[in-house]
Amino acid sequence: MGAERLTELERRGRLTERRDVVISVKVRRPGETWFTSNIADMSLTGFRLHSFMKLTVGSELWIMLPGFEGRRARVQWVRAHESGCTFERPLHPAIFDYIVQRCLAGR
């Protein structure tokens, strides 16, 4: 039995490819009001959020992607004003492609 080569995604501990985007989104913690923030990159399963909102690992938030209803996500890591978050349920590939294409068209 031969050793399998790890993909770049597996070496980084990621399950899906991330796309470099800059997307204005609405974000809120449960029970609070929506405010505008930005996503710096995104995959089917998560995103990197740039925000001045104080977040902690394990906390829940809601994110509203342009043109879609709010989706629940959980904070996985925090570094200064950045947070890595995972969606409660992965995005459908068609929704992901639509959002990325919309972002790229706006550049």
**CATH assignment at residue 71:** 2.40.10.220
pLDDT tens-place string over residues 16-29: 678 888 999 999 99
**Residue 8 maps to a domain:** no
Segments forming the whole domain that contains residue 92:
15-106
pTM: 0.80
**Residue 6 maps to a domain:** no
Q: How many domains does the chain have?
A: 1
**Residue 1 maps to a domain:** no
pLDDT tens-place string over residues 76-86: 999 989 999 99
**Residue 49 maps to a domain:** yes
**Residue 9 maps to a domain:** no
Per DSSP, what are the bridge partners of residue 70? 64
